[in-house]
Structure 1
C-alpha cells in the first residue's frame, strides 16, 4: 500500500469523472462536428488526433515522429494515420531545404477549418457543462485542471495556453 494525500473516495471520484470524460468527449464532439461542418463524411478520432497534433506546431517542425509522440503511438502507426490525413485533404507534407528525408507536416485550409470546427464544438460543449458557473469558478477550474494535467506522468512540459 502507498501513502496518499487524498482519501480513497476522492481518488475514486476523480477516476470515474476522468473515465466519463474520455469515453464521451471525443466521439460526441467529432460526430457532431462531422455532421454539422463536413456533411456525412466520416472522420474518426484517430484522424482528428493527427490534425490536432499538427496544429499544435511549431510550424515547419512537426514530423511524423512528433505526431507519434503526441498521440502516444508507435511511428509506423503514426505514419499510416498521417497518410490517411493527407489523403483526406487535412494535412500536407511540406518541402524542406535542410533534409530531403524529412517532410514537415502542415494543415491544409480544409484541415484548419476542421480543427477550428472541432475547437468551437468542444468549447460549446464545455460552456454548456459550466452553465451557471461564475467567472471565478471557471478560472479556478481552468487553473486546477491545467495543474492536474501538468502533473500526470509523461505530461507535455509546455504550458497550457
Structure 2
C-alpha cells in the first residue's frame, strides 16, 4: 500500500457537493442508485442545520492537492445501547473513490472515527458490510474487526 499524504477532517459545508458525489458513487457500487434520493439541500439540512450525523472526509494533502478533491468519506452517528447506555459509534457509510484506493484513506478515516468515538465515551464501533464485498470484509478484519454472526439485519418499509 502506498502512503499518500492525507488530511482527515470533519466535512465543511463547502465539501458537501463532493461528498454527495461520493454518496452517489456508493449507491452505484451497492446497487441502490435508482432509490437514491439525497439532494444537496437535504444533505445540508441534515448535516449542517440538524447535525443528525457526522461526516469525515479524507483529502489529499500537499502542494498538488486541490481543496475540492475528496478521496473518501465516512458517515457516522451515535446510538446508545441498553446494556451499558454508552453511545456506540455507528459507521453508516465508508467509501473511498477508486483513484484513492490502496492509499490508506479508508484506514485513516476509520482511525479518526475510532478517535472520535473514544472522545465521546463510546464503548464500541459498529457497521454493516455487504456479504459479497470480500475486499471490504478483509479490510475491516485487518483493522481488528470481527464478523458477528449472531444477528441478521432486517428492515421494514414505512412508505407503504
Same fold (TM over 0.5): no
Decide which structure has the larger Cα Rg and report it: 1
Structure with the higher fraction of residues in helix conformation: 1
TM-score by length of 1: 0.24
Kindly indicate which of the two structures has a greater share of residues assigned to strand.
2
